[in-house]
Structure 1
Amino acid sequence: MDGAVAEIGRLSGASPETEGETLALRPRRVLLSGYRSHPHVGGQGVYLRELAIGLRDLGHHVTIASGPPYPDVPEGVNLVEFPSLNLFEESNAFMALRWKHLLSKADRSEWLAHNTGAFGELKAFAYRLRDWISRHGGDFDVIHDNQTLATPFIDIQRQIPVVATIHHPVAIDREFAVDGAQKRVDKWLTRRWYGFTDMQARTVRALPHLLAVSDAARTSHAEHYGMADGKAVVAFNGIDHAVFCPDETVKRQSRLIAATASADVPIKGLDVLMTAFVALARHDRDVRLEMIGQLRDGPAKALLEKHRLMDRVTARSGVTREVIADLYRRANVVVCPARFEGFGFPAAEAMACGAPVIASDGGALPEVVGEAGRIVPAGDAAALEIAIRSVFNEPELASDMSRAGAERARNVFCWRNHALAASALYEKAIGAC
């Protein structure tokens, strides 16, 4: 910032109610929080890191508070670690409780939830953070939480202003998971596991200052969590344009499909992609698929094995962003088949690399892709097959999509603008106290 005050003008990618708004912004002491922040998997760590950089570059003093796994911490940003019980790594989680854990409400909560079939990391992290804030809250002007949305944040809000980012309501995942469970006991266990979504709904309704990464993220929270419609401010995520950018020296490989797959669950649409891939491979011996992620045992892998196509599919996990960008530059087409996305980093990053992108109409994907790519109905494998074939067989179409996607990504997805939108919310939150 220039001195202590900056002016925020029109926010690219922001919602109509923030466009054109002018607000004085001051350097603030910001605590970013995330219950887990893996730097490469799931996007949570990526979000915290890139937002921290954007806020730091605006002149804010930024600290990240995170449970494990911890994020990559940018230069000039502090990290406060909140170790968990890490019960998923224990061979016998029930026997992991120690006398010292009985003294901690967070440890008791995490152990009890885990050993009764619930997911308790979010609430346990929020308990730890609340206790820490009771001692260190005076060091910060505002807390910005990345969709932990645990009820202890309602108590924290009484001590220090809280802003929360909302991506997509996990209640949608719960619905898909419950519908996919075959046995009554499995449905009950699934509901138990996803019980934290009711807690997140209460927190979303209680917190007054929310930042949504898309209009779909905002409207879906209103629909599934009872959040007041229009309560959240919308600002698109950014992407790292130094990593995700075109490279004219890299030649695109004919009939190579690229996709990401964090899990073989219905909401991610991997089954749709594989069904389309099988149909394409039936008549095209050259079509191949490279995936970022693990191809675990499940419906998608079973389908490939049934049709003897495993040798045409490559799956890699734990790779760097540079490796992902290289795949997007080599791919003939990048497919994003999810039935719902709160934003859709792969689509934005692939477009930034100049890849033709085909996405479903699930959630925010049409917002992200805009007119630069092809949109097909979520869950429609036949429509996806036709769209992929058209990109394969029409080089001029693929070239137009590549050019339009790179231009859109460059103009729309900017972390500085996201950080500016967050900063405007900080001023409103602080001013409301």
Structure 2
Amino acid sequence: MTAEAVQAAVLRPPAGASATDDGDRPLRIALLTYKGNPFCGGQGVYVRHLSRELARLGHTVEVIGAQPYPVLDASSGPGGLGLTELPSLDLYRQPDPFRTPRREEIRDWIDALEVATMWTGGFPEPLTFSLRARRHLAARRGAFDVVHDNQTLGYGLLGLDRLGFPLVTTVHHPITVDRRLDLDAATGWKRRASVRRWYGFTRMQRRVARRLPSVLTVSGSSRQEIVDHLGVAENRIHVVPIGADTELFSPDPSVPRIPGRIVTTSSADVPLKGLIHLVEALAKLRTENPRAHLVVVGRRAEDGPVAAAIERYGLDGAVDFVKGITDQELVDLVRSAEVACVPSLYEGFSLPAAEAMATGTPLIATTGGAIPEVAGRDGETCLAVPPGDAGALAAALGRLLDDAELRRRLGAAGRERVLARFTWHQAAVGTVERYREAIAVQGGTAHAQRSAAAQLSRRRI
């Protein structure tokens, strides 16, 4: 089935009731996430912390997700919090990614579409999850006051208003940015063709995004990218910054700082994260500061540019990768560093920056994307460098490692900035405001439609 055929099937108008707003009553929220693992990306972190804080505010949140399933915190507030599993074929699971499912695993035409897209080099999950989510919601009309989609942007989400569900969608940043950077890093026409095919779903996301009634994003930089890349009207995009868990990510003087330790969160095989530039900076830095070493929270690729750079510069003993650690282990690792670093070429927000600042660890960050909105002014709450500039990064690392007073001042100022601007409680409050606006708009639209229908009926009589 072609993308256009899927879109046409999805948009056939079903009958349905409408939701209306009735003040500040607790809401019943369906939070959709096609990938929810908090250990392999910011979207899972978003779902975990936002759902917890919404429940603390008194709302009932049902997270509806596919593999890897979200990890949710127990509700510690008056609201409810639960997970509904909406399984895909899980074609990219470890240790057998890009697997071929058994014939008996194929349950319906959506499963067949998922396999066919994967076999032809595409990424099917945003589309197929949206189709399954629509089918699930159609069977539960009246169960939710609002549906909140976490960057699926699939055809199945269009027309949910006709099922009676106001829709709010979070776009952390347009995936077209990732596509552009991956194409820039690709070598050879075969690799470039493969990248274009993999990111084929971004065409669907552009079409869907332009028709969404309410889009949330996490920064002013992402807002402009959504306008430029996805063509969404500015008046339908609302900035609601996310934040750090400031109770967990907090200073602890009992955790000793390790001299020369630099910590970053990155995946070695994602050009967007700029890890190769940090490795090059470390090589320059160690000519003058041999104690300097790097701990990377993320997966180490056995080959590729980062692995080649580590070998080329003789850094095998100076760069360590850690993965699968607990939240507490992550916090203590960040606390143990003399410097935290975000070397990304682009970020839609940068949770690692906010979390490092929340622990009081001094930060060096690039000016890519929204990072300056989070990290603040150079010399006041962080040291800022241009993205992709290994020389500037090495100079900033050397300056900060050599100046204990500067580290103390930046660390304290960074935590104060996060407490004032970037907490999950603030994010939940701002998100609920947008929910209520969407519910009110849906109710007003439904009322106008009913009134028009009644007038037409009277004229016929």
TM-score (norm 2): 0.86
Measured in 2, the distance between the counterparts of 1:422 and 1:272 equals 36
- Correspondence list, 1:406-421, <5 A: 406-421=415-430
1:231 aligns with 2:230: no
1:164 aligns with 2:164: no
Equivalent position of 1:53 in the other structure: 52
Paired residue secondary structure (2:276): helix
Paired residue secondary structure (1:295): coil
Paired residue secondary structure (1:171): helix
| Residue 40 (structure 1) shift | 1.8
Match of 1:427 among 430, 436, 440: 436
User: Does structure 2 retain, via aligned residues, the 8 Å contact 1:94–1:115?
Assistant: no
User: Does structure 2 retain, via aligned residues, the 8 Å contact 1:33–1:64?
Assistant: yes
Paired residue secondary structure (1:140): coil
User: Does structure 2 retain, via aligned residues, the 8 Å contact 1:97–1:111?
Assistant: no
Measured in 2, the distance between the counterparts of 1:276 and 1:416 equals 37
- Correspondence list, 1:170-249, <5 A: 170-249=175-254
Q: CA separation of 1:144/1:255 partners in 2, compared to 1, >3 Å: closer, same or farther? A: same
Paired residue secondary structure (2:286): helix
User: Does structure 1 retain, via aligned residues, the 8 Å contact 2:268–2:306?
Assistant: no
Name the amino acid aligned to 1:348.
Answer: A
User: Does structure 2 retain, via aligned residues, the 8 Å contact 1:117–1:189?
Assistant: yes
User: Does structure 2 retain, via aligned residues, the 8 Å contact 1:348–1:413?
Assistant: yes
| Residue 104 (structure 1) shift | 2.0
Equivalent position of 1:302 in the other structure: 308
Measured in 1, the distance between the counterparts of 2:382 and 2:216 equals 26
1:118 aligns with 2:122: yes
Structure 1: gaps spanning 5 or more residues? 1-22
| Residue 137 (structure 1) shift | 2.6
| Residue 261 (structure 1) shift | 1.2
User: Does structure 1 retain, via aligned residues, the 8 Å contact 2:52–2:72?
Assistant: no
Q: CA separation of 1:32/1:286 partners in 2, compared to 1, >3 Å: closer, same or farther? A: same
Measured in 2, the distance between the counterparts of 1:24 and 1:420 equals 15
Give CA-to-partner distance per residue, 1:401-429, whole Å, 9 cap, x none. 01101111122111121111111111111
Measured in 2, the distance between the counterparts of 1:39 and 1:272 equals 25
Give CA-to-partner distance per residue, 1:269-317, whole Å, 9 cap, x none. 0111011011011222211111101221221121111121111111101
Measured in 2, the distance between the counterparts of 1:172 and 1:123 equals 19
Paired residue secondary structure (2:405): helix
Equivalent position of 2:374 in the other structure: 368
Measured in 2, the distance between the counterparts of 1:50 and 1:92 equals 28
| Residue 91 (structure 1) shift | 5.6
1:358 aligns with 2:357: no
Paired residue secondary structure (1:172): helix
Q: CA separation of 1:319/1:187 partners in 2, compared to 1, >3 Å: closer, same or farther? A: same
Equivalent position of 1:68 in the other structure: 67
Equivalent position of 1:133 in the other structure: 137
Measured in 2, the distance between the counterparts of 1:100 and 1:282 equals 56
Root mean square deviation of aligned Cα: 1.7
Measured in 2, the distance between the counterparts of 1:163 and 1:72 equals 22
User: Does structure 2 retain, via aligned residues, the 8 Å contact 1:54–1:415?
Assistant: yes
User: Does structure 2 retain, via aligned residues, the 8 Å contact 1:117–1:193?
Assistant: yes
- Correspondence list, 1:326-365, <5 A: 326-365=332-371
Give CA-to-partner distance per residue, 1:352-388, whole Å, 9 cap, x none. 0001101101111000001311111111111111111
User: Does structure 2 retain, via aligned residues, the 8 Å contact 1:291–1:315?
Assistant: yes
Equivalent position of 1:286 in the other structure: 291
Q: CA separation of 1:95/1:239 partners in 2, compared to 1, >3 Å: closer, same or farther? A: closer
Measured in 1, the distance between the counterparts of 2:219 and 2:97 equals 41
Match of 1:393 among 402, 420, 445: 402
Give CA-to-partner distance per residue, 1:193-239, whole Å, 9 cap, x none. 00111111111111111111111111111111111234311111122
Paired residue secondary structure (1:285): coil
TM-score (norm 1): 0.91
Q: CA separation of 1:24/1:388 partners in 2, compared to 1, >3 Å: closer, same or farther? A: farther
- Which stretch of the first structure deviates more once superposed, 269-278 or 44-53? 44-53
User: Does structure 2 retain, via aligned residues, the 8 Å contact 1:32–1:63?
Assistant: yes
User: Does structure 2 retain, via aligned residues, the 8 Å contact 1:32–1:145?
Assistant: yes
Paired residue secondary structure (1:211): strand
User: Does structure 2 retain, via aligned residues, the 8 Å contact 1:106–1:123?
Assistant: no
Q: CA separation of 1:402/1:207 partners in 2, compared to 1, >3 Å: closer, same or farther? A: same
| Residue 53 (structure 1) shift | 1.2
Measured in 2, the distance between the counterparts of 1:24 and 1:373 equals 42
Measured in 1, the distance between the counterparts of 2:141 and 2:131 equals 14
Equivalent position of 1:384 in the other structure: 393
Paired residue secondary structure (2:142): helix
Paired residue secondary structure (1:178): helix
Structure 2: gaps spanning 5 or more residues? 1-21, 75-79, 443-461
Match of 2:281 among 276, 281, 291: 276
User: Does structure 1 retain, via aligned residues, the 8 Å contact 2:272–2:346?
Assistant: yes
Equivalent position of 1:6 in the other structure: none
Measured in 2, the distance between the counterparts of 1:253 and 1:397 equals 17
User: Does structure 2 retain, via aligned residues, the 8 Å contact 1:360–1:378?
Assistant: yes
User: Does structure 2 retain, via aligned residues, the 8 Å contact 1:235–1:418?
Assistant: yes
Measured in 1, the distance between the counterparts of 2:42 and 2:97 equals 29
Name the amino acid aligned to 1:132.
Answer: H
Give CA-to-partner distance per residue, 1:12-55, whole Å, 9 cap, x none. xxxxxxxxxxx953311100010010032202222111111111
Paired residue secondary structure (2:169): strand
Measured in 2, the distance between the counterparts of 1:344 and 1:45 equals 14
User: Does structure 2 retain, via aligned residues, the 8 Å contact 1:68–1:84?
Assistant: yes
User: Does structure 2 retain, via aligned residues, the 8 Å contact 1:290–1:314?
Assistant: yes
Measured in 1, the distance between the counterparts of 2:199 and 2:51 equals 29
Match of 1:316 among 322, 335, 347: 322
Percent of paired sites with the same residue: 39
Q: CA separation of 1:91/1:245 partners in 2, compared to 1, >3 Å: closer, same or farther? A: closer
| Residue 155 (structure 1) shift | 2.6
Name the amino acid aligned to 1:164.
Answer: T
| Residue 92 (structure 1) shift | 9.3
Measured in 1, the distance between the counterparts of 2:204 and 2:178 equals 15
